[in-house]
Structure 1
Amino acid sequence: MRIGKQDNAFTAIATSDEHSITVRGHDLVGDLIGQIDFTEYFWLLVCGHRPTDAQKTMMNACLVAIAEHGLVPSVQAARMTLAAAPEAWQGAMAAGLLGMGTVVAGSSEIAGRFLAEVVAAGGDEAAAVRALEGVKAARKKVPGLGHPQHSSGDPRADKLLEIADKLGVSGPHVAALRHLGKHAPAIMSRPLPINVSGAIPAVILDAGWPLEALKAVPLLARAGGLAAHLYEESRRPIGFILSHNADLAIAYDGERAK
């Protein structure tokens, strides 16, 4: 198959005609609008089937856990973009979402893929120890573990794992995460509690969410938080204050004009 060419061009997500709109096999007007909540619809759109009650509850918990995280770089980028272009909510929202990478929010995907590798290698304590030793040898950080503020334990992660246990969702990914959390402090020689970026992929993968769609979860969650910041920015702007404080905080150390 040539790059850019697809012999079987199909989509299983949605279609419409002059009389109806069909989404994942359901009539949008007759079956979904007013009868399904957004988290359930999100699961249906991505996975192609409605979630069970446990799956929906777990997804809800994950979305709530990370929707808002204060004035992190992605939020500052969004607010300063809106300050510079108050008519461009879409641009400001995009600025915030584009800033979600391996350090902020997108770290859940990195942790999820790491957990999947541990599970594929056996998922037991021995597999976790081997994975940790590999990370240490590569002089890398352990995905899903450690927090600069919550050194004794990330309360969001603890709550998500508690919910997963109560729902009966916890499975091989949660077990692997707990094995990593148990052995990491000794192997890495520092406190490394399970953080929310590790808990989210563990519980949601065990709930049945696809690995390839992991990043969609923090993206959707943070879109809600960004909407709040952009609305507040439009009413009580701080974007230029953030920009001015950056000028004050950063000293010039380049060459001087002669």
Structure 2
Amino acid sequence: MADDQWGDQYDQTGRVPFHWQSSISYKTADRIVLQGYETTELAEAGWSFAAVVFLLFQGRLPKKNEEKMLNFFMVEFMEHAMSPSTLTARCCASGRPALNAAIAAGILTFGEAHGPGHLHGIMVHKYMEMGEKNGWTLTQIAEQLVKDHKGKMIMGLGQPQHIHGDPRAIRIMRMGRELGVAGKFHDLQVEIEKAFERINGKKVWTNVIGGANCIFMDLGFSPLAAWAIGVLCRGFSCAAHAIEEMTKEKAWRASRTTKMINLLDLSIQGPKYYDGPPDRPVPKPEDRKE
């Protein structure tokens, strides 16, 4: 028997010593094992980054079409030029903190109106379960969702800079269909877009969050896992922008002597202010040299 700081008695006989319990991974002095596979062996066997991300969250290696779909999303979502996250990472970097602080600052901008999020996935799951319980069609589920959000923002619809349709969402959903991974959540998102137009009398396109989340859920990812993968992808972008700001620009720029403008305006994001490589055709991966 032992006394705690408050004088109460408790019996530690048979108590299991504290330890972390995980079904994801373990490590020894010589090995790191993820979902049963040694990570070095995964790398040596040629499994891609996307495939191992799939393994990490789902506990199994993906089928070829699943890996291709996840990789497609990760590439499509990784960069969005000047946006709240990259701009925040740059502003933070202009103060010359540690790099990870600038990356974290960018990631912290993700919320209801920008970046990856799980709220859309939770909403769609909720209405899908409600509809299946009541025997509704996908059209009926979508109409109920839109009616319940009358006068409110609907997660997964609308993008302020892609007013004629978010090209990322269009491509992601199309690829999901082509690869045969698009399922009921993809179909429900299509119906939500249609129902919004019928009920509100105006067209609002599915954005990248709506398009990606529905495919993620059809692949078996939870809304939280989809959120995390989106953060991971855009985090690379925040890092690149922060590094460029730290190495290419003066500290604390855009201050007193700079003519100010809306920092996210498309007029300052075009090719006029881009000094990277010129537009060029995308080569086929199989054409690479060994």
Q: Report if TM-score (shorter chain) is over 0.5.
A: yes
Go from structure 1 to structure 2 and tell me whether the alpha carbon gap of 1:21 and 1:146 turns closer, same or farther (over 3 Å shift): closer
Map of 2:200 onto structure 1? 188
Match of 1:71 among 82, 87, 95: 82
Say which is worse superposed, 26-35 or 11-20, in terms of deviation: 26-35
Map of 1:44 onto structure 2? 55
Conservation of the 8 A alpha-carbon contact between 1:22 and 1:28: yes
Go from structure 1 to structure 2 and tell me whether the alpha carbon gap of 1:221 and 1:242 turns closer, same or farther (over 3 Å shift): farther
SS of corresponding position for 2:156: coil
Greater relative contact order (CA < 8 Å, ≥ 6 in sequence): 1
Match of 1:125 among 121, 136, 139: 139
SS of corresponding position for 1:102: coil
SS of corresponding position for 2:252: helix
Alpha-carbon displacement from aligned partner over 1:218-238 (angstroms, at most 9, x marks no partner): 101101211221221123227
Deviation at 1:135, TM superposition (A): 0.3
1:102 corresponds to which letter in structure 2? Answer: E
2:33 corresponds to which letter in structure 1? Answer: T
Map of 2:110 onto structure 1? 100
Deviation at 1:245, TM superposition (A): 8.5
Go from structure 1 to structure 2 and tell me whether the alpha carbon gap of 1:121 and 1:246 turns closer, same or farther (over 3 Å shift): farther
Go from structure 1 to structure 2 and tell me whether the alpha carbon gap of 1:185 and 1:31 turns closer, same or farther (over 3 Å shift): closer
SS of corresponding position for 1:15: strand
2:122 corresponds to which letter in structure 1? Answer: R
Counterparts of 1:244 and 1:55, CA distance in 2: 51
Alpha-carbon displacement from aligned partner over 1:73-99 (angstroms, at most 9, x marks no partner): 22122112222125x111111111111
Conservation of the 8 A alpha-carbon contact between 1:21 and 1:27: yes
1:45 corresponds to which letter in structure 2? Answer: L
Conservation of the 8 A alpha-carbon contact between 1:26 and 1:32: no
2:123 corresponds to which letter in structure 1? Answer: F
SS of corresponding position for 1:240: coil
Counterparts of 1:204 and 1:168, CA distance in 2: 13
In the alignment, does 2:172 pair up with 1:160? yes
Say which is worse superposed, 155-164 or 119-128, in terms of deviation: 119-128
Conservation of the 8 A alpha-carbon contact between 1:80 and 1:239: no
Counterparts of 2:143 and 2:19, CA distance in 1: 44
1:130 corresponds to which letter in structure 2? Answer: Q
Go from structure 1 to structure 2 and tell me whether the alpha carbon gap of 1:239 and 1:174 turns closer, same or farther (over 3 Å shift): farther
Map of 2:188 onto structure 1? 176
Counterparts of 1:41 and 1:149, CA distance in 2: 33
Alpha-carbon displacement from aligned partner over 1:2-60 (angstroms, at most 9, x marks no partner): xxxx9985112222223322222112223435622111111111221111111111111
Deviation at 1:248, TM superposition (A): 4.5
Match of 1:214 among 226, 244, 248: 226
2:79 corresponds to which letter in structure 1? Answer: E
How many correspondences in the alignment?
241
SS of corresponding position for 1:22: strand
Map of 1:116 onto structure 2? 125
Go from structure 1 to structure 2 and tell me whether the alpha carbon gap of 1:241 and 1:163 turns closer, same or farther (over 3 Å shift): same
Deviation at 1:159, TM superposition (A): 0.8
Identical-pair percentage: 26
Counterparts of 1:148 and 1:246, CA distance in 2: 26
In the alignment, does 2:251 pair up with 1:236? no
Alpha-carbon displacement from aligned partner over 1:117-157 (angstroms, at most 9, x marks no partner): 23213361011101100000xx3111111222333322211
Say which is worse superposed, 236-245 or 187-196, in terms of deviation: 236-245
1:161 corresponds to which letter in structure 2? Answer: M
Counterparts of 1:89 and 1:50, CA distance in 2: 33
Counterparts of 1:144 and 1:28, CA distance in 2: 35
Counterparts of 1:171 and 1:159, CA distance in 2: 16
Report which of the two has the higher share of helix: 1
Counterparts of 1:134 and 1:176, CA distance in 2: 16
Say which is worse superposed, 214-223 or 120-129, in terms of deviation: 120-129
2:140 corresponds to which letter in structure 1? Answer: A
Go from structure 1 to structure 2 and tell me whether the alpha carbon gap of 1:249 and 1:158 turns closer, same or farther (over 3 Å shift): closer
Deviation at 1:247, TM superposition (A): 9.1
Give the TM-score normalised by the residue count of structure 2.
Answer: 0.75
